[in-house]
Each structure stands twice: as C-alpha cells, then as structure tokens.
Structure 1
Amino acid sequence: MSKVDIISGFLGAGKTTLIKKLIKENLSHEKVVLIENEFGEIGIDGSFLKEAGIEITEMNSGCICCSLVGDFSEALEKVVKDYHPDRIIIEPSGVGKLSDVIQAVINVHDDKLQLNSFIAVIDAKKCKTYSLNFGEFFNNQIEYASTIILSRTQDVDQHKLEEDIQIIKTFNTKANIITTPWDDLTGDTIMNALENKDSLQQVLLKEVEICPVCGHHHDEEHHHEHECCHEDHHHEHSHECECGHHHEHGHHHADEVFTSMGRETIHTYTQDQLETILKTLSSSSQFGSILRAKGILQTPEKTWLHFDLVPGEYEVRVGPADYTGRICVIGKDLLEDKISELFGVE
C-alpha cells in the first residue's frame, strides 16, 4: 500500500523546502516517490529535490486536472508498479487547484493507493494579497486542505498572522493550521499534524457526488446548460460553489490566467550580476506581473548559482551543476523580450 500526500501551495510558498525538510527529518526510512507537476516551459524544482535522493517523475506545462489528466493517471500507476513506494508525494503546480488534483487521484482506481493528506502551504507574508487577487486558485487550495502550513511566519507580526488565520478560516474551519516557524518544528511534529484523519475525511466527503461534466461536487441545484469540455463549460448558478470557483466568471484554467517563460543559456553570471538582475526583476513592474522566478546558472568560476524569487524578495545560493543554465519565470502579462534582455539571453 502506498500513501499519497498532496502538497499544494501558491507560487513560491515553500512547497519544495517543506518536502525536503520532511524527507530529511521524518521520511528518510521510507521509499518516497515525488510526482511534480510544473507550470512552465522548463522544470527547475526537480533538480533541487534530486539532492535528497528522491525518485522524481516530472510533468511540465499545464495542470493535472486538464491537459495532463491522462498522463497523470498513467504516471501514478507506473510509479506504483515500478517502484512500489511506501509514500507518493504529489507536488502540484503553484497555480493548480487542489480540488482538481484530489479528483485526479480519486479517478485512479488502484487498491494499492491510500489517500493520506491534502496540504496547502501558505506564505504568511502574502496570504491577503493572493487571496484577493488570485482567489479562484489560491482560495481553492485553502478550502480543500486537510492541513494548512503557514510559511515565513517568523517574518510577520502577530496582527498579520491573526489576519491570515481569519482569511483561512473563512474558507476552511476544519483543517489543522501550523503557524510555528519551520526551524522550530521537527518533521515528526509536522507529520502528526498532516495525518489528521478527521480533517481528511471532511475533505473526502465533499467529493462523494461528482458532477459528470466538470468533475466537481455540487449541490442539487447545480446543472449545466450543455455538455462541455473543460475549456468552455460554465454553470447557471452564480454563487461560489464547493469547488471554489466563482462560476459566473467561468471555470478558469491556469494557462488562461497565468503565463510562463523558460530559457536555457550557457551565459555565466557572477553572484553580484545575478543579484542585480533579481533586484531589478523583483522591484519593477516593467516586466509584467511576476509571481515567481527560479533558475540555475553558471558562474565564470564554473560554480553554479540557484535562485528563487517571489515579489519583493529573492534568494541566491550555491548548488550542484545542471546540464546547462536554466531560467523559469511565471506571472501575468509577462514581457518576455524585456526579461530576456535583462538576463542577456535570447
């Protein structure tokens, strides 16, 4: 039997960091397989996680619920057959909807799989902003989580933290909410909160009656004007239903709202050069609305720099080599030519 944990979280919330912490401190004795669902042209996070000795299956471009539902089912079945893991961790795209990922797992009828936990990692510094601006995606992750883990709580004051919890409880009153800074928590403590079966059962109950058209649970009044595929369907009710979508505005997919660009490059960058680029990228609106950037780039001294960027902040660290330099940027209305010019790539 393979346990399945879904670790969701909006762009840059810290999903990969959390997974590495759990592997190192709590799951090192288990055989773990990670299935990543990257939104973007170039997968980056998989390179970070290979350091932890995890078997990784990467899927790029698109969300699990839409274009990759077939590939996802096949990947999950292949993982069970080939690896016989104790645990499968699914890391959805940061702009994916947790309800859709849960449904995609439910649709894989395999008696060797056991749904274990649905986690949403929420950046405490950006909870209010993202809830207001990207509610269809961000709030859905909160609503369907059995456990919610706030990241970067050490960087916010008590008032901000209480405001975050109030927002979270607007959408989910059943989930465990972890607010302690991660450095103060052991992997065992986090895992005990994740495996809260009562909360998980509440989430699963929401998926008992599945709409045959859009794959979500709805009340008895729900109906469709016509049979439809994911791209065009809409609903005649106007309230926000249990799948977390404001249906009067349609059911949006990540690639309808967000854009991404990926570049490979052999250019080299000193750490000072890279930090200057990232400072410009994180503090200026001239490149579009950037929500996340990450990459692996070589220095003139043949060392490699790994970087992560979210609005207003960035991190650069030395890491292992990759086959070439890679850059991935995700956001809305990206001005790719200007971003490419900033990095000096085509």
Structure 2
Amino acid sequence: MKIDIISGFLGAGKTTIIKKMILEVFSKEKIAIIENEFGEVSIDGLLLKDSNINIREINSGCICCSMVGDFKLAIKEIINKYNPDRILIEPSGVAKLSDIIKSCKEIEEISINNIITIIDVLNYNVYLQNFGEFYINQIKYAKTIIASNRENMNKNFMDEIVNSIKTINNNCNIITSSLELINTYNILNMSQKQDDNIEISRKFNIKNVKHFKKVKKHKNYNITSNIFKSWGIETLKCYSKLKLEKIFKSIEKSEKYGLIIRSKGIVKSQEGKWLEFHYTLGKFKIKNIDNQRIGRIVIIGQNINKEELESLF
C-alpha cells in the first residue's frame, strides 16, 4: 500500500496541495486520506470532503505523540474497509515529520512513497528562529520541499531561503515555482526519485543554519516552546468579509488574545453565502465556498485567552 506524507507547519498550505494532487494526478486512483488536525474542531476534513475521497480524521492531538496508537489503527481500518490504491497523510502542522515516518515504518502493510514538506516562505525566518529543531525537523526529513506564499518575493530573497534549506537538507528537491504554473504530477515524479533510505537518527545542529534579514517586519514573537493550544467553535453566526478582516487585525495588534499563529474557518456571510478564511502571521485570505451545514472556526497558538476570543467572535 502506497503512503504519501504531505507535511508542513501551521498554515503552510498542505490541504491546498492535496486538493491539487487529487485533481491533477489521483483522479483515477482510489484514494483515502488520514487528516490529523490539532484541536477539537475539524476544518480541513470539510474542505476535502467535496473530492469524494474516504477521509479518516484524527483530532485533539498529533500523530507524533499520544495519538500514535490511533494513527496505526486508522491506517489498518482504512486498508480493511476501503482497500485504497494510495493513502495520503496530512499530519498536524505541529507534528514532527521524523516521528510520522517512524510510525509508518512500523506498519507492515504500507510503504512510504512520497515525503513532501510545504514551507511558508513569508514566515520562514520567523519560524526558523523561534521554533528551532521543531520547525527544522519538517525540512530535514523531506524528499521534496515546496515553497508557498511566495507572491511578491524577489529572487535574492528566494535564493537566501533556498540556500538556508540546503544547509538543513541538501538531498531534497526544492520547488520555488508558483503552484499555478506547475503540475503536481511533476512534483510527485521528482519526489519518488529520491533515496528511500531515510535515517531517523540523523543529527543536526541549528547553529549551522544561516539566518537572514526578514522580508517583512513583525512584532517580537516570543515563541519559546513547542507547546500549542487551540480554541474552536461551531457557529451559525453570520460574518461579513470586512468584519473578519477587522477581527484578525485586532488579533495581530493586541497581545490580550494570546500569540495566535494560525486560524482557519468556514462561516456564513451576511449575504447568505459561505466563506472560507485562513490566517497566518502577517497574512489573511478569504474566499467564497459552497454551502455548508454549520460554521466552524479554529484558533491555534500560545497563551490563548479563550474568553477574549469568545467575545471577539
């Protein structure tokens, strides 16, 4: 059974890549997805369900820690129930890629095919400096790395990011082309040609990584540990695009809500349509989507003030 792992830090664009792969490459294959979200409220599972794919969700943790048993059980359940041609694994954005690979190698029925990590280049240096080994782990064990959120990035800045990535993992493919201009068939083809012999015990010294001037000024993010919390709700409340933009401007400017690193949601608009939104440090995107049964909002970060967030939303 083929396994493809699509990894990446919070908000890097994993679900977007998976939807593109299903459309361009896997449309004729029988696909199943293991969707591992951090927190109680699932968003990505809803966004993928319109692809008519069998989805098994693991919530409230990440595969790399207390959920390992659930992960192995989910793999075996999918094989026995659906017998797919391929399983796509989208780990939580706070999972260590080396642990995902290790868990997969302990399951006899499967073999790892592709290991892809999505990197948010807008926040690359901020995350690299603040998350250290945790963030680097997702880069170090990838076969292929895809740069996302690269709009308006000049060539010199992209070259610096590529050089920094090569310092961490000199054996991977690095794709910096705009995703609109590249077919995911080519991405998968390149990834599969890489060496499958991945040593989980590889050592790495963060001091060897080159840090460079950030492309955009941020406030001083004091991210000192890998402990994240989440807050989420299901809601029938209606929002306008302007209202949501104001909410996330408030979140970015004020520390009273906590350090919010990632948010995503599906909500009903005041015009009766449905909106999908995504927030990462310094970036907010929103678009119209098909009708949904209920709205969902999830917030991930550190020192989250749930009372303040409840009053905000």
Q: When the two structures are superposed, what TM-score results if normalisation uses the length of structure 1?
A: 0.81
- Structure-2 separation of matches of 1:127 and 1:196: 26
- Structure-1 separation of matches of 2:108 and 2:186: 31
**RMSD (Å) for aligned C-alpha atoms:** 1.9
- Structure-2 separation of matches of 1:183 and 1:174: 25
Aligned to 1:61: 60
Aligned to 2:261: 291
1:70-109 Cα distance to aligned partner (Å, 9 max, x none): 1110100111111111111100000110001111111112
* 1:299 positional shift: 2.4
* 1:191 positional shift: 1.8
Are 1:114 and 2:84 counterparts? no
Contact 2:266 2:295 (8 Å CA) reproduced: yes
1:163-201 Cα distance to aligned partner (Å, 9 max, x none): 211221121110111111111101222221221232x33
Aligned to 2:304: 334
1:33-87 Cα distance to aligned partner (Å, 9 max, x none): 1101111121101111112222111110111122111111010011111111111
Aligned to 2:36: 37
Alignment of 1:180-329 (within 5 A): 180-198=177-195, 200-201=196-197, 203=198, 206-207=199-200, 217=201, 240=205, 257-329=227-299
Q: Percent identity?
A: 43
Aligned to 2:3: 4
Contact 2:43 2:264 (8 Å CA) reproduced: yes
Contact 2:34 2:88 (8 Å CA) reproduced: yes
Contact 2:131 2:226 (8 Å CA) reproduced: no
- Structure-1 separation of matches of 2:170 and 2:88: 24
* 1:283 positional shift: 4.1
- Structure-1 separation of matches of 2:42 and 2:275: 16
- Structure-2 separation of matches of 1:256 and 1:276: 28
Contact 2:49 2:55 (8 Å CA) reproduced: yes
CA pair 61-240 structure 1, distance change in 2 beyond 3 A: farther
Contact 1:282 1:314 (8 Å CA) reproduced: no
1:211-263 Cα distance to aligned partner (Å, 9 max, x none): xxxxxx378xxxxxxxxxxxxxxxxxxx859xxxxxxxxxxxxx961111111
> Residue 318 of structure 1: SS of its match in structure 2?
strand
Moved more, 71-80 or 317-326: 317-326
* 1:272 positional shift: 2.3
Aligned to 1:129: 126
1:110-136 Cα distance to aligned partner (Å, 9 max, x none): 2xx221011110011111111111123
Alignment of 1:88-167 (within 5 A): 88-110=87-109, 113-167=110-164
Contact 2:139 2:165 (8 Å CA) reproduced: yes
Aligned to 1:70: 69
Greater radius of gyration (CA): 1
CA pair 121-273 structure 1, distance change in 2 beyond 3 A: same
- Structure-1 separation of matches of 2:271 and 2:148: 34
- Structure-2 separation of matches of 1:283 and 1:30: 46
- Structure-2 separation of matches of 1:146 and 1:188: 15
Aligned to 1:244: none
Contact 1:293 1:310 (8 Å CA) reproduced: yes
Moved >6 Å (runs of 4+): none
Q: When the two structures are superposed, what TM-score results if normalisation uses the length of structure 2?
A: 0.89
- Structure-2 separation of matches of 1:337 and 1:7: 34
* 1:281 positional shift: 2.4
Q: Which runs of 5+ in 1 are unaligned?
A: 208-216, 220-238, 242-254
| Structure 2 letter corresponding to 1:338 | E
Contact 1:131 1:138 (8 Å CA) reproduced: yes
Moved more, 60-69 or 284-293: 284-293
Contact 1:282 1:309 (8 Å CA) reproduced: no
- Structure-2 separation of matches of 1:114 and 1:22: 19
Q: Which runs of 5+ in 2 are unaligned?
A: 207-224
> Residue 29 of structure 1: SS of its match in structure 2?
coil
> Residue 134 of structure 1: SS of its match in structure 2?
helix
